[in-house]
Amino acid sequence: MVLHCRNSITPLLARTFAVRRTGRLQCDAMRFTKLHGLGNDYLYVDCFAESVEDPPSVARATSDRHRGVGSDGLILLLPSEAADVRMEVYNADGSRARMCGNGIRCLAKFAYERQRASANPMRIETDSGVLEASLTVENGSVAAVRVDMGRPSLEPADIPCTLDVERLVDHPLVIAGRTYQATCVCVGSPHVVAFVDDLASVDLHAVGPLFENAAIFPDRINAHFASAVAADRVLMKTWERGSGVTQACGTGASAVCVAGAVTGRSGRRITAVLPGGELELDWDDNDHVWMTGPAVEVFSGDW
């Protein structure tokens, strides 16, 4: 798939174009690759070779599923002085995300297969710190990645949340007239998890934005709804801050693992079943959450 824009351009993308002496605007082609983790799809740009002058605008334009390429956001692969590579994440609305669980697995695959990093485990710098990713390589291709997501936090200040409580665990939140038992967990990015008896009854498009933009979350939040069908198996679906309904969320699944364990609904090692597939989560005795799942390349093109 090749996308060219030469003569007709939108103001949204104007900052990514160079003005020639003739006064015409000429598109500098940006090479991208689309990858997904359980359907949570992002466009990746190798910034060892490319430059993206205005990532928020590019994220908004390229993520549009009707007028762009279509994705949940934009992820940049960059050099790092603190690790093997660096990851920058921009949501579909152009906002910057601290971390992305499915995104970091795909970035590890992208970096390894593009020979930008050969270490295994690979150390990846994010806005939430340096994380370690162990790659399962088959015939030179990365099939799956296990990521040390670090120590989760239940502190309201790390979300942040304005409620005056020590920990927001099974706390009643009233949203659109319905009371949810909510647990807030920061796993690189902020999440609120509500366990419900009937997952199918949750209208994500209606309730997701209300959770995301609730006044008690001044920086907005990712919202997840879950149902534990066994001690080691949890069904969930996700509304992501800045992107809306997504097929999967790696940091969110990590948060669901922690929320289920601290409320006694599930164990510390679970399979999270998302619309896009399954992730394996393990909250170990050293207080680190480990996430394991696939990474898939879809196609490359020029924007």
Q: What is the pLDDT of residues 207-229, one digit of tens each?
A: 999 999 999 999 999 999 999 99
Q: Residue 17: its pLDDT value, please?
A: 37
CA 226/CA 212 separation, integer angstroms = 16
Tokens representing 241 are: 């801050």
Q: Dump the DSSP string for 13-63.
A: GGGGEEEPTTS-EEE---EEEEEEETTEEEEEEETTT---S-HHHHHHHHH
User: Matching CATH topology for 11-148+295-302 and 156-287?
Assistant: yes
Residues in contact with 280: Cβ distance below 8 Å, sequence separation at least 6, in sequence order: 270, 271, 272, 291, 292, 293
Q: What does the pLDDT read at residue 242? A: 95
Let me know how long the chain is.
Answer: 303
**What is the C-alpha separation between 249 and 253, in angstroms, rounded?**
6
pLDDT recorded at residue 28: 74
Q: What is the CATH number of domain 11-148+295-302?
A: 3.10.310.10
Annotated domain spans of the chain: 11-148+295-302, 156-287
Question: Among all chains, which residue has been given the structure tokens 């007709």?
Answer: 8
- pTM, 2 dp: 0.88
Q: Can you list the residues of the chain whose pLDDT is less than 70?
A: 1-27
Cis (ω within 30 of 0) for the bond into 121?
yes
| Coil, helix or strand at residue 221 | coil
What positions carry a catalytic annotation? 100, 249
pLDDT of residue 16: 39
* Homologous superfamily in CATH for domain 156-287: Diaminopimelate Epimerase; Chain A, domain 1 (3.10.310.10)
